[in-house]
Amino acid sequence: MSILRALFRGLTQSLSYPSLLFLLWFATLLVALPGALLISETIRQDLGDSLAQEGLRDGFDMDWYSEFEGRQSGLAQTFEPSKLIAAGPFLDNAEAWLSGRLFRKRPALLGLAAIYGLLWTLLAGGVLDRFARPSQFWTFGHILESCGRFAGRMIRLALLGAPLYYVVFRFAGWLLGRVAASSPQATSETPLLLATVFASAAIAAILIAVRTILDYSKIILVTEERASALGAFVSGARFVARHPIKTAGIQLGFLLLGLLPVAMYHYFGPGTGQSTVFSIVLAFLAGQMVLLSRIYLRLGLLSGQMAAYRYEERR
């Protein structure tokens, strides 16, 4: 099975299960909604009946934001101007992930991230079981039952992967710190920029490798009904090592496809120009369409990876 065929298989099979797509979208919305409401209420209380409230209808007020930032703590600190500008949220989050800044400077997000990660871990078993047995009759209850059946093993697998991510982020902080420390001695910005790009690319490659191994570990655990999460992890690592080009190609293919929702968000997503109820609703709907697209691509990736794994194992 070629890389392109695996990509096509993943994209088409995911479309066959819209119930999975909307289940994961709804679960994501449930996790994000409390945080969004908390930040919204914090901003509303901070503005009150002040003149800044009227000024924000015409554009973003950096003077108000500077004062707001100094008064807040916890989750409200995650409200930043970069989150309001086109593709800013994606770029800011990508940089925060690569550098590890997300965990060092955004501790308030750790709780939500942990809940979101746990939710996806619990649902992953049912999703992969659905992909592995497409001819079987499935209902919503069957999917939830499958999620519960694999929940323990999926959690153990996630606990195996957590130290790997920790080591990568520690390495990222060290490497980017070394690059930043060399900046005072640099006589030109070009070498520093190239060093930063190279370091970021190396960190991204390691993160992708870890994620790829864990993806195939989940697939092996479900398709082969493995009882041991450690055994599935070892088998996943071996499979990636035997097929590095194919596994990396599928992963990178879906990462490139993931740029399309970012482009959609850049042109149609929320910004500082919405001041009417209609424009705000349109911006919200655009954001939800982008979220659905990203979840769809995540399902497509798992489906494509499963197709590639089953094909190679049958050879």
* Long-range CB contact pairs, 79-85, < 8 A, 24+: 79/39, 79/42, 79/43, 84/60, 84/270, 84/271, 84/272, 85/271, 85/272
Token reading at 144: 């939830």
Query: Among 265, 303, 291, which residue's Cα sits nearest to residue 28?
Result: 291
Q: Which residues contact 242 (CB under 8 A, 6 or more apart)?
A: 312
Q: Compute the mean pLDDT over every residue in the chain, rounded to the nearest whole number.
A: 80
Share above pLDDT 70 across residues of the chain, in percent, rounded to a whole number: 75
Over the stretch 202-253, which tens digit does the pLDDT of each residue have?
A: 888 898 999 999 999 999 999 988 889 999 999 999 999 999 999 999 999 9
Token reading at 265: 């968000």
pLDDT score at 53: 66
Global pTM? 0.81
Over the stretch 33-49, which tens digit does the pLDDT of each residue have?
A: 887 788 788 877 777 76
DSSP one-letter string for 20-63:
HHHHHHHHHHHHHHHHHHHHHHHHHHHHTT-HHHHHTTTS--HH
265, 195, 248, 266: CA torsion to nearest 10:
0
pLDDT score at 99: 60
Which of the pair, 310 or 271, is modelled with greater confidence?
310
Provide the 3-class DSSP secondary structure of residue 282: helix
Q: By mean pLDDT, which of 106-120, 160-174, 233-247, 300-314 is the weakest?
A: 106-120
Amino acid at residue number 307: A
Which of the pair, 142 or 276, is modelled with greater confidence?
142
Over the stretch 58-94, which tens digit does the pLDDT of each residue have?
A: 666 677 777 777 676 666 666 766 656 555 566 666 6
CA distance 290 to 305: 22
